[in-house]
Amino acid sequence: MTKYKKYFQEMRGANQEAFKQFRKIHDLFATDRVRYQDDFNREGQKIMEIIQEWEKRLCSRMEGGKNSVYSANLSEKFRNEIRSEFPKIDLVGVRLTFAA
């Protein structure tokens, strides 16, 4: 198993209840973005903090020098793994408005 996938699994396991709660609101948000926007952003903010913490753990020793490109690629792979499970994760914090 690759390192970023291992970290993803560990992150999910360590924060099982938070991800379970986010899964519910994520799926509701996917069906009705306007109605569930506030709940999605609130729960999503908690999840984003968890993700950033684990991403920092994953890439912390590689930031400087010759490994900086590798670190960016590893971070992107980690984020893509999250997106595969939660496709709307990039919309956390985005305020959606629709013209009538």
Q: What is the pLDDT of residues 6-64, one digit of tens each?
A: 999 999 999 999 999 999 999 999 999 989 999 999 999 999 999 999 999 988 866 55
The amino acid at 60: S
- Classify residue 61: in a domain, yes or no: yes
Q: Is 92 inside any structural domain?
A: no
Question: What pTM, to 2 d.p., does this model score?
Answer: 0.85
Considering the domain boundaries, does residue 95 fall inside one?
no
Domain that holds residue 54: 3-85
Residue 54 lies in a domain: yes
Q: 15: how many CB neighbours lie within 10 A of its CB? A: 18
Residues 66-89: pLDDT tens digits?
A: 655 667 788 899 999 999 999 999
Residue 46 placed within a domain: yes
40 in a domain, yes or no?
Answer: yes
Domain count within the chain: 1
Residue 71 resides in a domain: yes
For the CA atoms of 34, 35, 41, 43, the dihedral, rounded to the nearest 10 degrees, stands at -150
Q: How many CB atoms lie within 10 A of CB 5?
A: 12
Q: Is residue 50 part of a domain?
A: yes
